[in-house]
Structure 1
Amino acid sequence: MTDSITFTNPILEQRADPWVYRHTDGYYYFSASVPAFDRIEIRRAQTLEELRDAEPVTAWHKHETGPMSANIWAPEIHFIDGKWYIHYAAAHTSETNEGLFDHRMYVLENDSPNPLEGAWVEKGQIRTRWETFALDATTFEHKGIRYLVWAQKDPDIPGNSNLYISEMENPWTLRGEQVMISTPEYDWEIIGFKVNEGAAVLHRNGRIFIGYSASATDYNYCMGLLTADEDADLLDPASWMKSPKPVFQTCEANGQYGPGHNSFTVSPDGKTDILIYHARNYKDIEGDPLYDPNRHARAQVIRWNEDGTPDFGVPVPDGKAAAEAK
């Protein structure tokens, strides 16, 4: 048994859209949406279990008005070319606009070895093909090329958001073609809203996997999976195969509802892949699910099928050690 499976869920309460990155310094770095949607917090610990009690540091606070002044969503912390970056979504407010579903994607940079210290500098907006609702930017490198995957509204496609990929010039600038790789099409992707969002990338067994989330943020929220061969042209939509059924979804028997907005990390020894996600432990929500704060951050060991594809299983119950979960 490795240290990776000594945790119990939830690993952190009231932190939606959780992102966990394990760095070469031996720390897990954690970022997520806070219930007030007004700032970006980061914390670190040497185990997932210790993240719960780690002291959070506010890296950045929303602006008072204008761009980046409302609904700070889904910050992701990355280490790229010797510097730290946070990719996040923020909305614009004005006298006539409250900023809901008017998000754009932005980037912060910190050149301190420890991102809990030093200054976070605004690098500006990630400019895409359209000036429309855009969020959930994630970045990865493959064969020497850095890519961005994100969710955005195409004004010519009905629905809320599709998934896109592009090469990057630097961590805040796209380069070349911007390609749609997934649009909500299956019944389980269009409940409440037509949504594909919250992408995260895992490279294993000769393939690139993208876990993403679909449907409304209540108990219908679930995870889908895109798969491409590692030697394929990642900018060719035909390279990506979508699983026809959700790969991770509500489990009423275990009291877990609406699991999604995942990220991936590894055990301290690097041998065990771990799924990070949020979910609620109750089904019925009063009011808009977006403003219900109890999407807790959770973790789960990923098992692998004989064909090399991930088996996420079902969301484990609260309070049960991950080593016991099947």
Structure 2
Amino acid sequence: MTDFVNPIIEQRADPHIYKHTDGYYYFTASVPEYDRIEIRRAKTIAELDTTSELINAWYKPDTGPYSDLIWAPELHFIDNAWYVYFAAAPSREIIDGLFQHRMYAISNSNPNPITPEWTFEGQIDTGMDTFCLDATSFSHNGVNYYVWAQKDNNIGGNSNLYIAELETPTKLRTAPQCLTIPEFEWEQIGFWVNEGPSVIHRHGKFWMTYSASATDENYCMGLLYADENSDLLDPKSWVKAEQPVFKTNWEKKVYGPGHNSFTVDEQGHDLLVYHARDYTEIEGDPLWDPNRHTRIKRLIWEDGFPIFGEAI
């Protein structure tokens, strides 16, 4: 088993690590400036921190609907091309308690995405023109799925999780289906939030983690799961855990763990990738505090269920 020294990468929030068939680990995350999409790769996870194979694949324009607050990029390999899903806003203005993010994508058909041939693909339209962010994707039985967080004006709170089938990597085939809303008290601290979904397929089930509450020490992770043979677009197929599965570790001073992704170590063991802070005294809005660091830990399975353990 590989041992990791946490944090593995400092000042990188919303971390996404993907191990590709070429043997490389690819990493992207929100940068403190929220102005670009950075992608890096290395042969080992530990080398992601210092690798010279790094590119700023896309910079925000100076003005326009996607010219500020570039959040939570995720790199995916779909239909033999690379895609980065991300959220962006026209400004830092808050309207009715929300930022004004929409979801976008860039693509690259080069086998090596650490190259400048990235193309802006435009907005991913969900049919709902409201605040949305944190898109991810997974595939099953030849079908590509898209999962994300979005505000429904008819539902209280900031964001819920939705799923749809993809027609292309940047176009939905089906209407959004709501999987979860922030209904429990631990999902409603500071803000009513379900966001940052991530999916892992193990032991005959699809497991979907997500993050809840404000992005301070109250940030934590919830869990949904569905049988692999069920209709994954049917909200009734998904079971929701009533308690958080991963939260602040006060003893070890790991605060607000969340916005995770999944990967495997060099031996193939499942890993949980997440961000957290090592202090709680934040001046102003937590979003402008740069010290959410990327951390990693082993994900254990017992009787087919994931055991997240403590933030470390």
Amino acid at match of 1:292: D
Aligned to 1:323: none
Is 1:44 matched with 2:44? no
Distance 1:128 1:248 in 2: 29
Report how many aligned residue pairs link the two structures: 309
State the Cα distance separating 1:109 from its structure 2 match.
Answer: 0.5
**Superposed structure 1 runs of 4+ greater than 3 Å apart:** 97-100
State the Cα distance separating 1:252 from its structure 2 match.
Answer: 0.9
Counterpart of 1:20 (choices 6, 17, 21) is 17
Distance 1:59 1:132 in 2: 26
Distance 1:52 1:228 in 2: 35
| Contact 1:111–1:118 (8 Å) recurs in 2 | no
3-state SS of paired residue (2:7): coil
What are the Cα deviations for residues 101-131 of structure 1, in whole angstroms up to 9, with x where unaligned? 1000001000111101141101110101210
Distance 1:32 1:202 in 2: 19
Unaligned runs of 5+ in 1: 317-326
Distance 2:51 2:200 in 1: 26
Is 1:282 matched with 2:282? no
What are the Cα deviations for residues 274-302 of structure 1, in whole angstroms up to 9, with x where unaligned? 00000001122111111100000000000
Amino acid at match of 1:279: A
Aligned to 1:299: 296
Distance 1:183 1:197 in 2: 10
Aligned to 2:309: 313
Query: Which aligned pairs between 1:112-191 and structure 2 lie closer than 5 A?
Result: 112-191=110-189
3-state SS of paired residue (1:59): strand
TM-score, normalised to structure 1, is 0.93
| Contact 2:37–2:57 (8 Å) recurs in 1 | yes
3-state SS of paired residue (2:49): helix
Amino acid at match of 2:286: P
Amino acid at match of 2:46: E
Aligned to 2:72: 74
Aligned to 1:324: none
| Contact 1:9–1:299 (8 Å) recurs in 2 | yes
Distance 2:142 2:109 in 1: 22
Query: Which aligned pairs between 1:239-278 and structure 2 lie closer than 5 A?
Result: 239-270=237-268, 272-278=269-275
Distance 2:143 2:266 in 1: 27
3-state SS of paired residue (2:199): strand
Amino acid at match of 2:10: E
Q: What's the RMSD between the two structures over aligned residues?
A: 1.2
| Contact 1:146–1:168 (8 Å) recurs in 2 | yes
Distance 1:180 1:231 in 2: 19
3-state SS of paired residue (1:299): strand
Unaligned runs of 5+ in 2: none
State the Cα distance separating 1:162 from its structure 2 match.
Answer: 0.1
| Contact 2:179–2:238 (8 Å) recurs in 1 | yes
State the Cα distance separating 1:235 from its structure 2 match.
Answer: 1.1
